[in-house]
Amino acid sequence: MNRPSDKVCIVTFGCQMNKLDSDLLRGELARAGFSCAERPEEADVVLYNTCSVRDHAEHRVLSHLGAYRRRAESEPDFVLGVIGCMAQRMADQLLARFPFVDVVCGTRAFLRVPAYIRRAQQGGGPIVDVGEESPGGRFEFDRAARMRQEDHSAYVSVMRGCDNFCAYCIVPFVRGRESSRPPQEVVREVRRLADDGVREVTLLGQNVNSYGGGLEPPVGLADLLERVNGVDGIERVRFVTSHPRDMTDGILRAMAGLEKVCEHLHVPAQSGSDVVLGRMRRDYTAAQYRDMVARARELVPGLMLAGDFIVGFPGETERDFRLTLRLLREVRYQQSFIFKYSPRPGTAAARWEDDVPDRIKRERNQALLVAQEEVDTERRAGMVGRRVEVLVDGLSKADERHLSGRTRGNDIVVFDPPQGARPENLTGRLVTVELTDSTPLTLFGRLSGRG
Ligand code: SAH
Ligand code: SF4
Ligand code: F3S
């Protein structure tokens, strides 16, 4: 039996790495005798796993935290924690502004969170830990028995940290230096996940193409993909995020040749202007990026590309922006994530004036979104009539009479379940779907075979 003060809710902001960290931490908390609550109102302990990548991401968390003042003051046993990237970046500021926060714990001290909660419950707060990993090493937390939110698809951390120091980016500051997890350990985890019913794994790293740096014997992402491809029970393998500079023929050939590795790359360009790319410290020109895309498409038939763009970087002119727009149209991304530049304290770019007015940033943001939608609508309309392999995710959220799944290229497909079958039984299975229609967000199809 859990004591009433043992229900924890983790509210997660940020990237896939944060989602994985929250799942790992739930596992650790369960081991320490805590149980999970779905919603903060039902919990005795609320943890915010936070993101610092843009000012907006931080603001959302700050406004949530402010709302806990009354509860924290009226319920002495209640524990409020802030963990992850924001905790790492601004521990002292957080406590100064919200003195009722009990635990502030950075990105490398997650394993210590359960003990801190206990200490806080006994009145020992506030506790701040923005230190390094425990003596067990960088990847000890990754070995935690995670509590998964999804059954058939899982993230696997293969690297932690980032050494790139792109001029705008806070990640290297909050996540620390880059290091790679030994391949045998990654494979062991993937095997365990497969035994547990997982069919699709996504290997995570901030710059996954540089996987292997510092490992002995030498190993690269292509070798890792080959080993993970060999795990029985796994049907699909993905990896994110790729840095354009570190794309190699070896990685592309692995993608083309290994049957489980999906033909999908998330390979952000950030800008189409060489002047801006230079100031961003991205280490490639727009021409080199285009060559990389051409090579990738040559080696990997059917390849889908996703990208990120930042608009309104310091000094970005109308001409720079036009070059970005042209690149987005030319590459014909399946998906683009578009962000307005947000200065991050301590980064190189924060020393430069944030001189593109917000109105212009919004206009440029909107123009890229519109262009992306045009490109994508056309691309998807061209897919109607094809037969595609779909991994079934479950009932469609929009309409529970239908099933929803994803293609190897990560397009969402909605289709009817087979007559007489219980649709939920198809979750996690590979099926063949003939595409019959496309709308701006979704492809529709009819089942034409089971995998
Ligand atoms: N490691 C990954 C993800 C980095 S953060 C990568 O390198 O691709 C995800 C995206 O947020 C980045 O690709 C970038 O487009 C955007 N981003 C990062 N810092 C930003 C900032 N200061 N302002 C606006 N967008 C930013
Ligand atoms: Fe940030 Fe650049 Fe590292 Fe990506 S590669 S996390 S954008 S510093
Ligand atoms: Fe991810 Fe945001 Fe941290 S993007 S690494 S949660 S700053």
Which CATH number characterizes residue 300's domain? 3.80.30.20
Beta bridge partners of 84: 50
The pair phi, psi for residue 443, each rounded to 5°, is: -100, 140
CA of 127 relative to ligand 2 center, distance in Å: 30
Q: Is the pLDDT of residue 244 over 60?
A: yes
350, 365, 381 — which closes off a domain?
381
* DSSP sequence for 25-47: HHHHHHHTT-EE-SSGGG-SEEE
If you take atom 2 of ligand 2, which residue's CA is the nearest one? 166
**Ligand 1 cavity residues, CB under 6 Å:** 53-54, 168-169, 171, 206-207, 241, 268, 270, 308, 310, 339, 341-342, 344
Query: Does a structural domain hold residue 252?
Result: yes
Q: Is the pLDDT of residue 371 over 60?
A: yes
Taking each helix axis as running N to C, give the angle between helix 183-195 and helix 221-229, from 0 to 180 degrees, rounded to the nearest 10.
30
The whole-number pLDDT of residue 448 equals: 87
Query: Does a structural domain hold residue 142?
Result: no
Query: Does a structural domain hold residue 136?
Result: no
Q: How large a percentage of the chain has pLDDT more than 90?
A: 88
Tell me, using a 6 A CB cutoff, whether residue 138 lines ligand 3: no
Counting ligands in written order, which one lies closest to the CA of residue 241?
Answer: 1
Domain count, the chain: 3
CA of 111 relative to ligand 2 center, distance in Å: 25
If you take atom 4 of ligand 1, which residue's CA is the nearest one? 206
Which CATH number characterizes residue 413's domain? 2.40.50
Q: In the block, which residue shows the tokens 């190699």?
A: 248
CB atoms within 10 A of CB 148: 19
CB atoms within 10 A of CB 88: 25
The whole-number pLDDT of residue 145 equals: 87
What range does the domain containing 100 cover?
4-129
Q: Are residues 212 and 240 in the same domain?
A: yes
359, 381, 403 — which closes off a domain?
381
* DSSP sequence for 87-150: HHHHHHHHHHH-TT--EEE-TT-GGGHHHHHHHHHTT---EEE-----TT-TTTGGGS----S-
Q: Are residues 34 and 61 in the same domain?
A: yes
Mean pLDDT of all residues in 245-254: 98
If you take atom 4 of ligand 2, which residue's CA is the nearest one? 206
Tell me whether residue 399 is exposed, middle or buried, using C-beta atoms within 10 angstroms of its C-beta: 0 to 12, 13 to 18, 19 or more.
exposed
Query: Does a structural domain hold residue 411?
Result: yes
Say how far apart CA 189 and CA 208 lie, in whole Å.
17
Taking each helix axis as running N to C, give the angle between helix 113-121 and helix 16-31, from 0 to 180 degrees, rounded to the nearest 10.
60
162, 168, 169: residue to mutate for ligand 1 pocket, most atoms within 8 A of CB: 169
Per residue in 389-431, pLDDT (tens digit) is: 999 999 998 888 899 999 999 999 999 988 877 777 789 999 9
Tell me whether residue 364 is exposed, middle or buried, using C-beta atoms within 10 angstroms of its C-beta: 0 to 12, 13 to 18, 19 or more.
buried
Q: Is the pLDDT of residue 1 over 50?
A: no
Task: Compute CA distances 409 → 156, 316, 429, whole Å.
Answer: 19, 32, 16
Instruction: Please report the atom of ligand 3 found closest to the CA of residue 18.
Output: 6
The whole-number pLDDT of residue 5 equals: 66
Using pLDDT thresholds of 50, 70 and 90, give the confidence band for residue 298: very high
Query: Does a structural domain hold residue 137?
Result: no
Assigned token pair, 304: 């889908």
Q: Is the pLDDT of residue 247 over 50?
A: yes
CA of 101 relative to ligand 1 center, distance in Å: 28
Query: Does a structural domain hold residue 318?
Result: yes
Containing 58, the helix (H) or strand (E) segment is helix 55-66
Mean pLDDT of all residues in 203-209: 97
Q: Are residues 80 and 183 in the same domain?
A: no
Q: Are residues 355 and 291 in the same domain?
A: yes
Q: Are residues 195 and 318 in the same domain?
A: yes
CA of 53 relative to ligand 1 center, distance in Å: 7
Q: Are residues 189 and 250 in the same domain?
A: yes
Alpha helices, DSSP H, located in 300-431: 318-331, 358-381
CA of 308 relative to ligand 1 center, distance in Å: 7
Per residue in 19-58, pLDDT (tens digit) is: 999 999 999 999 999 999 999 999 999 999 999 999 999 9
The whole-number pLDDT of residue 93 equals: 96
Q: Are residues 217 and 341 in the same domain?
A: yes
Q: Is the pLDDT of residue 204 over 80?
A: yes
Looking at the chain, the number of H-run helices and the number of E-run strands are: 13, 19
Q: Is the pLDDT of residue 2 over 70?
A: no
Tell me whether residue 401 is exposed, middle or buried, using C-beta atoms within 10 angstroms of its C-beta: 0 to 12, 13 to 18, 19 or more.
exposed
Say how far apart CA 224 and CA 162 lie, in whole Å.
19
Say how far apart CA 435 and CA 31 lie, in whole Å.
45
If you take atom 2 of ligand 3, which residue's CA is the nearest one? 51
Taking the alpha carbons at both ends of the chain, their separation in whole angstroms is 43
Which CATH number characterizes residue 37's domain? 3.40.50.12160
17, 155, 206, 308: residue to mutate for ligand 1 pocket, most atoms within 8 A of CB: 308
CA of 8 relative to ligand 3 center, distance in Å: 22
CA of 239 relative to ligand 3 center, distance in Å: 17
Mean pLDDT of all residues in 147-173: 94
Q: Are residues 169 and 122 in the same domain?
A: no
Tell me, using a 6 A CB cutoff, whether residue 162 lines ligand 3: no
Mean pLDDT of all residues in 420-449: 88
Using pLDDT thresholds of 50, 70 and 90, give the confidence band for residue 3: low
Mean pLDDT rounded to a whole number for the chain? 95
Say how far apart CA 146 and CA 164 lie, in whole Å.
29
Mean pLDDT of all residues in 151-157: 94
The pair phi, psi for residue 212, each rounded to 5°, is: 110, -15
Beta bridge partners of 433: 388, 447
Using pLDDT thresholds of 50, 70 and 90, give the confidence band for residue 450: low
Query: Does a structural domain hold residue 143?
Result: no
CA of 346 relative to ligand 2 center, distance in Å: 14
Task: Compute CA distances 161 → 170, 177, 181, 251, whole Å.
Answer: 11, 5, 11, 21
324, 346, 381 — which closes off a domain?
381
Q: Are residues 115 and 72 in the same domain?
A: yes
Are 23 and 148 contacting, i.e. CB atoms less than 8 angstroms apart?
yes
Q: Are residues 188 and 329 in the same domain?
A: yes
Query: Does a structural domain hold residue 147?
Result: no
Task: Compute CA distances 318 → 71, 166, 322, 323, whole Å.
Answer: 49, 22, 6, 9
Q: Are residues 342 and 203 in the same domain?
A: yes
Say how far apart CA 423 and CA 421 lie, in whole Å.
6
At residue 75, the 3 state secondary structure works out as coil
Q: Are residues 30 and 90 in the same domain?
A: yes
Per residue in 314-347, pLDDT (tens digit) is: 999 999 999 999 999 999 999 999 999 999 999 9
Tell me, using a 6 A CB cutoff, whether residue 157 lines ligand 3: no
Closest to 48 (Cα-Cα) out of 17, 79, 92, 5: 79
Using pLDDT thresholds of 50, 70 and 90, give the confidence band for residue 125: confident
